[in-house]
Structure 1
Amino acid sequence: MKLRHYADRRLCALLVMMSVGLCQAAEQQRVNIGSLNMTGGKISRCDLGYRTYGTLAEDRNNVVLVTTWLAGRTSDQADMIGPGKLVDTNRWYVVAMDAIGNGVSCSPSNSPIAPRLKFPQFGIRDMVKAQHRLLAMYLGIDHAHAIVGISMGGMQALQWAVMYPDFASKVVTIVGTPHPTERDLQAWNAELAAIERAPGWNDGNYAPGTAFKQLAAIHNGYLWTPGHRAAKTVGTSPAPAGTLPATASNQSFSTVDWYRQLQAMTSFDLLRHGDMAALAGKIKARLLIITSEQDRMVDPAPSKALATQKRAQLLVLNSDCGHMAPACEAGQVNEAVKAFLK
């Protein structure tokens, strides 16, 4: 029975690969990857969402994985994936993956068996483990040319490089981090506290339409520098869609999902069992690390230290846009990523 089940999955993977290899596709797709043991317990069923773009090369050497940021979905990535964009689908076959807890993949907001905070706490490691299972067992992909991630997506990209060091040849992390600093944790824990203290939170059992205004204010405050906010009203000058986390102004992302993804970020730390030299030694992939010098959401110092230790390619942005600098400096970022992926 097990062998037949595995054969069925391999046949499904072959059919998927045959179909996507013929044309460009970008529709939302989901796969049930089965039960998953996570940080806070076991979930008996986990569906993972993904989208594919471009054409798979005959030798399958042009796969690029793209991960999602905090409160992000693959549907938000339209401005970074496509012909001539950050990840050019004229050259690369892109698999964009919805992270656990984003409301598309298995999440507190959509789980019929473990709704709301009954959904176990998960970590960045669990996100990557699930993605690896999807790729290897259901899509038949056992190697990628590169993995690209922004913010929390950059944390996933680095986790990939550590957990599966032979899977990808290159890794791009943009305003991510291998090690949250006290400054980072202060910002992320402030958002958690804003959720927990909001009127109507009720341990995640909030009523539809409940507003989390303090969460939006805190999150937007950390995304931008004070100087940028003083010069421009963020509400009338939003960053381009799909380039970085949303400004949390429309509450379209479920707060209970946001809460669990924040917990995943606060529990993430690739230096937990060693120093930066040890971490660099675990990573085989070539790295492109892009940081924002004035980032108030993610401290650039650990990423810069990893770049030095690994002798990786480093691009430091100095825009007053803060964490949103990759959006404000999109041209510079796009050129750096395109050159690195070649």
Structure 2
Amino acid sequence: MLFRCILVFFLGLGSLHAQQKFADLGDLKLENGLTIQNCTIGYRTFGKLNPQRSNVILVPTWFGGTSQQKANIANAGNMADSTHFFVIVVDALGNGVSTSPSNSKTQPNEKFPLFTIRDMVKSQYELVTKHLKLNHLYAVMGVSMGGMQSFQWAVSYPSFMDRVVPIVGTPRQSAYDVLFWNIELRTLERGNYTTEALKTTGLIHELNLFTPEYTQKKRSAPEATAYLNQVEKDLSTKNPYDWASQIRAMLKQDVMPGKTLQEAAKQVKAKLLIVVATQDHMVNPAAASEFSGYLKAPLVELTSNCGHLATSCESEKVTSFVRAFYGL
């Protein structure tokens, strides 16, 4: 799988199984005025809701990830330990499980409307409040694009949760991020959203998951060729329009458009623990670090040469800090 290295982080502690569930949101009005018709949100739940209904952690998925892949984050001893918390892992719009270009019957592929990270968060808020009948969360926590959604939760619904843990995410795209994600997007667009175009896009994506130093030490040149071939094979079942839809959402990521990060930070009421990878070549850590300064929030820096996937290489460190932040 393309995200095999992320999966090692979340699947390393065993296997949890929970039924895939769906919530029907009806027609979801987007911030641009368009509508996702017959919108459904996929999710899985782990653990038990306590009598006070105060132990809920919501975990949005990363770019291209699903709630099934992310299930083990709720294992005992992991960051969202379901022996203590009621964990809701939510499939983000466009991931192929929740309503997406690939599965929409009325707005398939190129007909699917443009949505944003804020729209993802809005859909999750409707899931939690209207379908699960919850009026408060203990925490929101996500990795990568899930970290972007976590930042957005903190600004869009500042009183709705006690804690927020964005991990290798960003509250606002940097110039580097804009360049990188546009390279992927334009490769898909100029390749007419074919599987071959997606394979090329995926190779670009894979290259930026790690630092050059880590890649050099991890595998030999012949092994790298075999690895790239496997990546292309894994991507043959992916939908290019799903991939593009989530890239477009990330490109528009800005927790408060038209305002400075310092102004946006003033909206935040929850306690934040922010985790960044200092050598991240996929999600630049600068904006997240800046945001932590305005909030006076603890900042955990992962300094290994693993790049964006430093969360895997330094998983014990991340887990330790997050569990301590939750009082475990």
Q: TM-score, normalised by structure 2?
A: 0.88
How far apart, in 2, do the equivalents of 1:264 and 1:341 lie? 30
Give the AA of the match of 1:213. K
Q: Match for residue 11 of structure 1?
A: none
Per the alignment, residue 316 of structure 1 pairs with: 301
Which residues of 2 match residues 8-27 of structure 1 at below 5 A?
Answer: 26-27=18-19
Matched with 1:216 is 202
Please name the residue that 1:44 is paired with: 37
In structure 2, the residue matched to 1:71 is 64
- TM-superposed CA distance for 1:42, in Å, is 1.2
Q: Report SS of the residue matched to 1:305.
A: helix
Displacement of 1:80 in angstroms is 1.9
Distance 1:62 1:306 in 2: 26
Instruction: Work out the CA distance in 2 between the residues paired with 1:219 and 1:288.
Output: 27
Cα pair 2:199 2:232 within 8 Å, conserved = no
- Which residue is equivalent to 2:21? 29
Deviates more, 1:40-49 or 1:118-127: 40-49
Distance 1:280 1:163 in 2: 11
CA 40–250 in structure 1, closer or farther in 2 if over 3 Å, else same: farther
Closer, same or farther in 2 for the Cα pair 1:309/1:236, shift >3 Å? farther
| Whole-Å separation in 1 of the counterparts to 2:102 and 2:238 | 10
**Matched residue of 2:255: which SS?**
coil
- What's the TM-score, normalizing by structure 1? 0.85
> Aligned-residue CA RMSD in angstroms?
1.9
Q: Does 1:193 align with 2:186?
A: yes
Q: CA deviation at 1:43?
A: 2.1
Q: Deviations over 1:21-69 (max 9, x none)?
A: xxx9711001111111123611221011000000110111100000111
Counterparts of 1:172 and 1:249 in 2: how far apart (Å)?
Answer: 34
Q: Aligned partners of 2:219 and 2:240: how far apart in 1?
A: 24
Classify the secondary structure of the residue corresponding to 2:87: strand
Counterpart of 2:170? 177
Q: Which amino acid aligns with 2:64?
A: A
Answer yes or no: is 1:228 the counterpart of 2:222. Answer: no
SS in 1 for 2:114: coil
The answer to whether the Cα contact below 8 Å between 1:170 and 1:285 also exists between their aligned partners in 2 is yes
State the AA in 1 paired with 2:287: P
Deviation at 1:248, TM superposition (A): 7.3
Task: Identify the range of structure 1 (127-136 vs 75-84) with the bigger mean alpha-carbon deviation.
Answer: 75-84
Q: Would the alpha carbon gap of residues 287 and 248 (structure 1) be closer, same or farther in structure 2, given more than 3 Å must change?
A: farther
Tell me the SS of whatever aligns to 2:284.
coil
Q: Structure 1 residues 210 and 65 mapped into 2: Cα distance closer, same or farther (>3 Å)?
A: same
1:331 aligns with 2:286: no
Selected match of 1:113 from 87, 106, 109: 106
User: Aligned with 2:289: secondary structure?
Assistant: helix
Unaligned runs of 5+ in 2: 1-15, 225-230
Q: How far has the Cα of 1:217 moved from its partner? A: 1.3
The equivalent residue for 2:274 is 289
User: Are the equivalent residues in 1 in contact too, given 2:48–2:86 (CA < 8 A)?
Assistant: yes
Instruction: Give the corresponding residue for 2:263.
Output: 278
The residue identity in structure 1 corresponding to 2:55 is N
The offset of 1:78, in angstroms, is: 3.1
Q: Is the 8 A contact 1:40 1:122 kept in 2?
A: no
Aligned identity (percent) is: 40
Contact conserved, 1:220 with 1:248, CA < 8 A, in 2? no
Unaligned regions of 5+ residues in structure 1, if any? 1-23, 238-246
